[in-house]
Amino acid sequence: MRQEGGLLASALYPRPAGPTPYGDLVAHGPRAVAHRADLPLVVEAVREGFLLHHGEPGLSRIMGRDDDDLALLAGDRLYALGLELLAAAGDLEAVQALADVIALGAQACAADDAGLAEAVWAAGCAEIGWGPDPALEMAKDAARAGISGAAERLGAAARHISGDLAPPR
């Protein structure tokens, strides 16, 4: 966004700050090796978009929420950037996984379920880094349906796929 200039670029912090646990998780996955898109960058860009859309003020590592409209616009741009990079790389599996993260994360936030939102992110990153898994698909279906225990199912699937590298809930 900084290279594109304009209003969004002027609102960015001078240097991003903070940990990158989701990008780090994806970087450990076999799908990240020699991928045409920088998968950790993709995930962290979309994570920042998510935080700008749904997070509490001060959670974003790249810009403040002084102007909510600008934060939403920046979030949209970061969502688009991540999906654009994956689509350009031809990785439709990762596009689908990331779209699920965005949709299920928004659903969790609308239900005011921060635990589910974080489980969605851990599971999505495991899927992007290691690939799809039937147990993960069932856990995502449970989350979509609002079934009790969906966060635990997503977390278990994420840890299973990533060999326990997924962030604990």
Q: Please tell me the distance from the alpha carbon of residue 26 to that of residue 135, in angstroms, as a whole number.
A: 19
pLDDT, tens only, 125-159: 999 999 999 999 999 999 999 999 999 999 999 99
Residue 168 located in a structural domain: no
∠ Cα 126 130 132 (to 5°): 85
Q: Is residue 131 part of a domain?
A: yes
Assign 56 a pLDDT band (cuts: 50, 70, 90). Answer: confident
| Whether pLDDT at 70 is above 90 | no
Residue pair 30/129 in contact by the 8 Å Cβ criterion = yes
Greatest Cα-to-Cα distance within the chain, rounded to the nearest angstrom: 45
> Tokens for 24?
């780090």
pLDDT band per the 50, 70, 90 thresholds, residue 166: low
In a domain, 143, yes or no: yes
pLDDT of residue 60: 80
8 Å CB contact between 1 and 8 = yes
Residue 13 lies in a domain: yes
Which distant-in-sequence residues (6+ apart) come within 8 Å of 133 by Cβ? 126, 127, 157, 160, 161
Number of domains in the chain: 1
pTM above 0.85, yes or no: yes
**Could you tell me if residue 167 is inside a domain?**
no
| pLDDT for position 163 | 87
The whole domain housing 108 covers 6-162
Q: What's the CA gap between 70 and 92, in Å, rounded? A: 29
- Which pLDDT score, from 0 to 100, does residue 102 have? 95
Is position 99 within any domain?
yes
Confirm whether 1 is domain-assigned: no
Note the helical H segments in 28-149: 39-54, 68-88, 92-110, 114-130, 134-145
Residue 139 falls within a domain, yes or no? Answer: yes
Burial of 158 (0-12, 13-18, 19+ CB in 10 A): buried
Q: How confident is the model at residue 167 (pLDDT cuts 50, 70, 90)?
A: low
